[in-house]
Every structure is written in C-alpha cells, then in structure tokens.
Structure 1
Amino acid sequence: MAPGDGEFKSICRVCHGGCAARVTVDDGRVVKVRPWPGSPFNRGRMCVKGLATPQAMYHPDRLTHPLRRVGPRGAGRFARVSWDEALSDIAARLDAFRRETGPESVALGQGTGRHHYFHVIRFANTFGTPNWYEPGLANCFIPRITVSNLTYGGFVTGDYCGETPPRTILFWGHNPLVSGPDGKLAFPVRDALAKGAYGIAVDPRRSETAKHCGLWLPIRPGTDAALALAMIRAIIEEGWYDREFVEAHTTGFEELRGRVAQATPAWAEAITGVPAASLLEAARRYALDRPSILDWGVSLEQNPNSLQTVRAVAILRGLTGNLDVPGGDVFGSELVAAYPVLRQALPPEAWAKRIGADRFKLLGGLRAFMPSAHIPGLFSAMRTGDPYRVRALLLFGNNPLATVANSRGVLESLRALDLLVVADHFPTPTAALADYVLPAAYWPEIDQIIELPFVAPRAVFAHRKLATVGECRQNELILNDLARRLGLPGANESLTDILDQRLAPIGLTFDELAERFMVMAEPRYRCYTEKGFRTPSRKVELSCKALARLGYDPLPSYAEPPESPVSAPDLARDFPLVLTTGARRPEFFHSDGRQIERLRARRPDPLAELGPETAARFAIADGDWIMVKSPRGEIRLRARVTRDIREGVVSIDHGWWFPERGGTDHGVFASNANVLTNDGPPYDPAFGSYQLRGLLCAVARIEPVAGGVAPAHPPGDAA
C-alpha cells in the first residue's frame, strides 16, 4: 500500500544506475522527482531521465491494463481483459506446454538490471525451465563478473566513495559519465576527475568521459586484448609491477611473462592503431601513479574472444597491486542474503536441456555465475525446433526486436511462438506481436531493495511503492500470481517475505529499512592479508587453474575479430569502414524513453559518428542523413561529423525505434543497430559471446524523407 501524500526517499530505477531521489506525491500522483543529497553514489545529482519520471509515468501511451490479442499476430489489435482472465489463461497454457513438450519449451526473457531480475530466474527454476535470458549475459557484465571471480575471487568496483582519492583512472571501453551503471555512477567519477585524478580512456570515440581524460587511446574496435597484453608485457619488463604484491599474493607470474613475451608495443600498435608511446605512457601511469582504478565496460565482452579479452584486462589489477586498497578497486560487503532464486528447484535433468550449456560452460554450465540460455540458440530453437521447439516466451521489460542481435531473425522467431507474453510500460514493437500485453509497474510503483554497487555492494537501500497508475502491477507480483496458479515451489512466499529474509543479516525488516532508507557498511581494505583471495590458491591467479580444468586456456591471448579489415579483406572491399555499435546517450536507456517529449526533444534522431576525413571520402556533411550498411542489412541515421572518433570507424546509437510512427512495427527496422549485427558463430568458447563491435560497414549520403527516416519493412511484412 502506498504511504500517502508527501515527500519520500527512493531509488530511481529508470536505468540500472541507482540514484537516490526525493519523490513528491500529491493527491496520489508523483508530481516531482529530485535528487536526494544523502547518497554517496549520486551526491545530490540526477540525470535527465530520472527527472522526467512524472512525464513517463503518466504518459498518455502508458500501458495501464492487461490486453489480449484479437487479430492476427503482428496486426496490433488487442482487447482489454481483467488480470484474472489474463493470468488464468496464461497459466493454463503454460501448464499445457509443460505437460505436452516439457517445461524447457517455455522460455523467459528480461531487460538488464531491473528490480525483477532475480525473481524471473526464481520463476524459471521453479517452473522447471533452464531457458531464461537477458540480452547482455554473454555480451555484457557476466564475463567481467565471472573472470573477476576466477582471477581474484570476487567482483570489484572503483573506490570513489572512500577517503583516499584515486590518482589514476583507466577507463577501458567505458563511458560512465553517460551510462552511470550499477551504483558506479557518473557523479563520483566526475568529481574524482575534477579533483585531479588523471584519466586514461581506451575507446575509438573520444566519449564524454574521454574528454575529461589526459590521455585518449583511440583503439581499433575489437582489438582490446592485444593492447592489454602489450601493457602487461610493458609493466613486467619495465619493472613497473608491484613486486611485493606479486611475489606474496599472485600465482602464475612466470607463465604469464612467457605468454606476453612477443606482445611488444610495436606489435600492439600494428594491430590496435594505438601509438606505442601512448601505450607505454598509459601502462606506466596506471602501474606507478597509484592508487589506480580500472573502470571497464561492455565493449570488452562483445567479441568472440570475450573470455581472454576480459582476462587480459583483469590481470592488470593484480600485477599492479591496485586490488582492495583505498582509492583502488575494492570488493563489496555482504550486507544482505542472496536473492532466493530456488536454484535447487530446477531438476538435474533440466540442466542438460539448457540451450548452449553443453558448449558454453561459463554461460550455462554448473560453474556459471547465473546459468542461462545462449540467446542465438534459444531464438533459433523457436523458429527451427533444433534441438527442440521453444513454444512460449514470457518477456519482462525486454524489447528484443530492438535490443537483440539479428533483428530479422528475432522477428521470425517471435512469429513462430505459440504464446508470447510481454510485460512492459509502453507498447513496443515486440509487444505488437504478443498474445498478452501486461502493464508493468514503473519504479515509483514497486517495493524492492537494491544493493549498490551491483555485485560489489557497500550499501543497501529500500524503495517502496508510492503511487499506482491504472492497473499496473509489479513484475514480481505478476510472476508470484502465475506461480500460485501453477502450484510452483515457493509460490506462497510473498515478496515481503523474500525481502525480509534477505535483510535478516542486518537485523531489519523491509518496513524498517524503508524507514531508514539506507544502510552502509564501513569500508574495509586489504582483507587478503588475513585470509587471502577467494580462489583455490588463495591468490590472484594470473594463470588460472580453474579455467584449465574446464578445458580453457589459463592464460590470456589475442584473436583477430572474425569480421574485420584484417580477417576479411575481400569483404572489406565492399564494406571498407569499421562499425562499432552501442553508443549511449544520456536521454535514453537502451530502447526506453523515445516517446517522452522532454527527452526526445533533446535527442530527436539516431546518430552515426564519423571523422572528418572519413566523411569527406564519402561526400558526407555534418547533419546529413546517411545509410549505414553491413553485410546483413542497412539502416538510416543522421551523421555527426566529429574529430572525436578514430578515422575509418563509424559509431552508431543502439535501441532506436519510433513510437510516433505507430503502425505495427513503429519503424523498428529503420534505424536499429541490430539490423546490422550478426548473432552467428564463431562464439567465445566459454561464454558464447559474439561479435557486436569491430564489424565491417559502408556509408552513403541519402536524401532526407518525411519524418527523417524512410520506412524499412523486412521481407514479408505488411507495409
């Protein structure tokens, strides 16, 4: 129940950042959202997305009651139904699939970093399906978490909130001043740079973060492992490593030294395009001007060499002793109990049926951090029936037509389903294909706790339901209702029961934490001096025995991206430029927010950034509409010509669709980066990661059309 009118503390969840907010409720409506100054993470500041919460929450296009499809799939015709009618029918159909073709024929999908994340996993486990996904699992964050666990026994995050400021910050494929993820928010980073920390940015773009840095390394996309290996070699051979830490607290140093012996700065320069002198300066500063933070991002994982790319970068922390020290990269505190996902409820035989688990052991196997299905294989099973047919998909805050690679393959897969259920805030291109569309609660409409930073937490916050729009429901409650109708294990535990269980270690109930709002752990450093690191050797594993036992190389290595000017020179004749996807803009979170007038006015068009020499080569001027084409398709974007990008590289926004265009697909194929991407092999052997950056493309100027972009319908779609 909402607490009534007034001003309340909460945690903004427009993105997966976690800004503490003051929410004003008047006459049962959220009327204003402002930052709360007491959080050490956002420090009294918020981004424009959070400030626009009331406009999003009460937008006229907001989904406010359950809908059932009444016309052909994709025609976008729905009728209003009651919650009881919708959930009863969905549960009955899920039960039928479970009996007829097994629970594995039902899959669940969700968006990144949402409040319901672990509850979706809980439902999948208790239903008996091993097939759940989140778009980034193989290509975002899970490789970094897993590699950190294998290398030094836990995930780490920058110590921006301690009393000792960092002297150097190495931003590797990461733009936190815009993305601000997981409690590692933009504001402490900005403050650290403003107070004198020296920034180094590894990025083909001089991003918003890179513009605040003293050194920019404009790398060729997809070649990060080569740069990291050369930096490792330089740190070792120049004697810049922390000798005392390495000798006492690491294992595999000599094996690593042998592996990188040929990774000279000149070798790396030829591959990455980063000048050898800049590489050496970056390595020297990070190693010697300490304490240093290594702030890494998703681009490291979006290639088929994901495991070893992330390993190479992770090892830099261990070599330099920048682990668990004030102002460096630090471990979290285990304040609360883990979310009870009821992993034990998933039958042992189901593990073997998880799509991709037999091939990608660190994604879907027993050693995986959050065992999940391989997305390309899962969507392929929907349309081909190999290895078996996936008949139903339940989506919670996920718009795969815009956010999953190979958009046309995704469309074919969704059309082949017997049942598609979408829970979201707004009608999306994916929702237009659904059998049921369920109105999901927005962040001021939910009860939940959040630990910050994510995976390496130092604080726990509560945010409680403050208002309700229409018949919107929290996704956890939707899943609980389905679980009860299906008679699943744990179905009688309420969300409050679960939250109280999690908070038991700090002696609080959810209601009590909601009154206090925040509990923060006292900082602790150098815990490894007492018990070592949480690895089998109790040391930082520069050469990882656990990887060797799983059949993977225990030492990092470089592999050229499979689609690049080097590996595919014949293809490069027709597609001479290098494409990097996934650029973030402060107004939007992935595919969210494009119907919010306040946000869209600031960022009306999808952008493609390219350098002035590249633009001149193709007679493109700043502001032109251009076509960007890959071997898989073509899209239209507005050109931004800038010196803040490596020449020969095209960087494009992702997540674009056009709510204002209406119809059945909302123009999702017109400017969608995933029309250009490929979800096919080769895959990373451990995680199943595939190439989303460093692909090949071509560009050409096009004439503008009404609305900025021309219609783009896939074959067989109604125009």
Structure 2
Amino acid sequence: MSFANTKRIYEGLMKQDLIVAYEHMITPTEQLGDYVLPGDSWLERPSMMVGISDQAMQPPGECRSIVHFWHELARRMGLENEFPWQTPEELLDYRLEPGNTTWAEVVASGSMPKMENPEKKYEKTGFATSTGKVELYSTIIDDLSFDPLPCYREASPESEEYPLCMFIVLPDDEYYRTGHRHIPDLRKRAQDPAFFVNKADLSDLGLEEGYWARIETLTGRMVGRAFIRSGMPKGLVRVPHGWWKPEAPQGLSHMSGMWSFSDAQTTPDEEPDLIDLEQGIPHMKGVPCRLTKLTTAEVKKLESVFGETLPMPNAVEKNVPKRESTKDFMADIEFGEDVELQAVELSLYGRSSG
C-alpha cells in the first residue's frame, strides 16, 4: 500500500477473490489479507546480492522462508518440477552452479565468487541495441513510438487551485522507506510526518511552525506537521515518504494511519503530464499541490484517533562539518575526528550545508 495512487491500488485489491500476504509484521497491506503467512526477516535467511549475508538465526515460531512458500505452492499445484528447491541454500546452490561453487563454499571463503567478465566484450558481440552500437538516437524507443532523443519536459505549471509544488525524495533520517516505525526510540525522535517549507510560504499560508497541515494534489491528500527549512525554495514543499503508525487502529477505516499519513495517496499515476510516459513511472518531483492549516476541530478529531504528539521538528537544522577525505572508515586521522560520531550527528541534526 505504498505504491502511487494508493486509493486506486486499494480499490483494485478489494475486487480480488483472495488476498494472501507474506510478512513478519502486520502492515497496512497485510491488513487487507484474507490470510497472512508469517515470513522471515533478512537476518533469518541466507542471501547474496552485492555481498554475502549468511543466516544469523532461525525464524521464530511458524515463520518460513519465501523459498519454502513457493515450493509448497508449486507442489500443491502439481508444478514441483518447476520449483524443486525447498530451502534458500538449495536455490543459492542452483544459482552458483555455473561457477562451479556452492553456497557453503562461498560462506567459508567470506567473499563473493569472481565472475568472468571479458573486457571489451562489445568488440565481439556489439551492444544490446538493434544496431549493435551505442545509440544516442534510440531505435528501441523509436519502435515504441516515443521520442528517440533525450528531451526535457517542463514541470506542470502551478494553478490557482494548486499554487505550490511538492517533492517526495528526502527521507527521514530515522526510517528506511516504510520500515522501522515500530521502534520506540526512533518514534520519539520523529513522531509525525514533517512537511518542510520556506519561511515566507509558512507565513503566507497562515501556518505556525509545528502545526498540523494538509497537503493536497489532484490525486489525494495527507496530513503532517509543517516546519521551516532555510534551504527550501519558495513555492516548494518537501513531503515525507512511507508514513504509517503501527500502534494506530487497524482495519479498513484507518489501516494504522495510512489513510491519514501516507504520501502514496498524493502521488499521481493517471495524469499524462505527471508520469514518465516511456516507463509509466509517477513523478516524485514538481507535482502541483496546496498546503492548508488544519482547523482546531480537525486536529482534535485526528488526536482522538492517533493520540497527541509533540510538535517537534525531526532533523533539526545544524551545520555538520564536512571533510574532503577520510583515511579510515571509522576515524578521520587527518582531523582527529570520529567518523562514526559524525554519522550520529547527521542522524540527530539532519543534512544541512556547512
């Protein structure tokens, strides 16, 4: 439920005969499920991507790996031969077989297996284009009836109804996408979604810093607290990503705060001027919006459902010294400063130019 135009996604899911979710906690998406299968977390499974990550612990209770799930589903559908692997290790061994190694050997070596990557392979095979050449004029995109040359498209102009523009990029330091919002210490530091605005915009809109506000687009709306950021240009609003509150009421009416706090409700996916036409990707920047102050009655209604929170600015502005180079990962020998401490400062005080 963090995809663009959440309402449309929700309506589509609710038309399905059966929804089965696989997770290790009850998120808004899982609250739609007819069945919720307990999954494992990344520490409870072996994996390999840019590095190796061995299993640190066994999944608790009835939690099972996703490989186990797909194998059992295939077996029940008579497709066991199509997905014969019963454990993550078996699947990893299959993927590693062309390199004449196994997962156990990779873990024992402590490093990723080296893959053969012939230098200048393109001299023999050409590039992966229809001409086999580097294409500034893309024949593939031309065949799809799009402009084959790179082009700049102006953002949609503001209107009287939506006089501001928003962007959804800058993450909260405390969280990663939709995750970690169930961790009490992090929630104490960032209790609510925060809109970052220019001081002049805050004044023009009749808003006080830290007060509740509503952001609205053609697609939907969400609420959060408004804070001044000196680096924000006039007319631009930063909207945080991935907000929900695990402790909040569940069920279709509230979905743990998703209907109130999720930015995905505001992100368009149907307006031709607000999506990447070639890929269908919704714009995260330059979306026309308006920002309005919540009335006292609206704030009371919000707090009656989600409780009172403090109007604290997450990522308080503070200049953090920047260094051109670091001789050691954890300690800056040249300046005698602890890099780990600087990372903590960045987390506590935010990223501001200094």
In the alignment, is residue 606 of structure 1 matched against residue 193 of structure 2?
yes
State the distance in 2 between where 1:428 and 1:532 align: 47
> 1:482 aligns to what?
73
Task: For 1:167-566, list aligned pairs within 5 A.
Answer: 400=1, 403-450=2-49, 452=50, 460-464=51-55, 466-488=57-79, 489-494=81-86, 495-519=88-112, 521=114, 527=120, 531=124, 534-536=127-129, 537-561=131-155, 563-565=156-158
* Deviations, residues 319-341 of structure 1 (Å, cap 9, x unaligned): xxxxxxxxxxxxxxxxxxxxxxx
In the alignment, is residue 693 of structure 1 matched against residue 248 of structure 2?
no
Deviation at 1:533, TM superposition (A): 5.7
Q: Is the 8 A contact 1:462 1:517 kept in 2?
A: no
State the distance in 2 between where 1:597 and 1:576 align: 37
> 1:630 aligns to what?
217
State the distance in 2 between where 1:425 and 1:486 align: 25
Change in 2 beyond 3 A, CA 1:517/1:550: same
Change in 2 beyond 3 A, CA 1:483/1:635: same
State the distance in 2 between where 1:638 and 1:471 align: 40
State the distance in 1 between where 2:83 and 2:236 align: 51
Change in 2 beyond 3 A, CA 1:544/1:503: same
State the distance in 1 between where 2:31 and 2:122 align: 56
Q: Is the 8 A contact 1:612 1:642 kept in 2?
A: yes
State the distance in 1 between where 2:118 and 2:283 align: 37
Moved over 6 A (4+): 522-526
> 1:677 aligns to what?
267
State the distance in 1 between where 2:180 and 2:241 align: 13
TM-score, length basis structure 2? 0.74
Q: Is the 8 A contact 1:657 1:672 kept in 2?
A: yes
Q: Is the 8 A contact 1:621 1:641 kept in 2?
A: no
Deviation at 1:480, TM superposition (A): 1.4
Deviation at 1:493, TM superposition (A): 3.0
State the distance in 1 between where 2:227 and 2:126 align: 47
State the distance in 1 between where 2:225 and 2:139 align: 49
Change in 2 beyond 3 A, CA 1:477/1:547: same
Look up the SS of the partner of 1:573 in the other structure.
Answer: coil
Look up the SS of the partner of 1:480 in the other structure.
Answer: helix
Q: State the AA in 2 paired with 1:516.
A: S
Q: Is the 8 A contact 2:249 2:305 kept in 1?
A: no
Q: Is the 8 A contact 1:462 1:513 kept in 2?
A: no
Deviation at 1:560, TM superposition (A): 3.1
Which is worse superposed, 687-696 or 422-431? Answer: 687-696
In the alignment, is residue 641 of structure 1 matched against residue 228 of structure 2?
yes
Deviation at 1:410, TM superposition (A): 2.4
State the distance in 2 between where 1:409 and 1:711 align: 24
Would you say how many aligned residue pairs link Structure 1 and Structure 2? 296
> 1:239 aligns to what?
none
Deviation at 1:412, TM superposition (A): 2.2
Q: Is the 8 A contact 2:67 2:85 kept in 1?
A: no
Change in 2 beyond 3 A, CA 1:701/1:684: closer
* Deviations, residues 540-593 of structure 1 (Å, cap 9, x unaligned): 3212223223433221122334x432xxxxxx1021000212431232222222
In the alignment, is residue 621 of structure 1 matched against residue 208 of structure 2?
yes
Deviation at 1:649, TM superposition (A): 0.6
Look up the SS of the partner of 2:90 in the other structure.
Answer: helix
Change in 2 beyond 3 A, CA 1:706/1:588: farther
Deviation at 1:447, TM superposition (A): 2.3
Q: State the AA in 2 paired with 1:676.
A: T
RMSD value over aligned CA atoms?
A: 2.8
Deviation at 1:478, TM superposition (A): 1.0
* Deviations, residues 258-280 of structure 1 (Å, cap 9, x unaligned): xxxxxxxxxxxxxxxxxxxxxxx
Change in 2 beyond 3 A, CA 1:616/1:526: farther
State the distance in 2 between where 1:479 and 1:658 align: 30
In the alignment, is residue 702 of structure 1 matched against residue 294 of structure 2?
yes
* Deviations, residues 480-516 of structure 1 (Å, cap 9, x unaligned): 1111111124232334333112212433211111222
Change in 2 beyond 3 A, CA 1:686/1:710: farther
Deviation at 1:706, TM superposition (A): 5.8
Deviation at 1:472, TM superposition (A): 1.0
State the distance in 2 between where 1:474 and 1:587 align: 28
Q: 2:179 aligns with which of 566, 571, 592?
A: 592
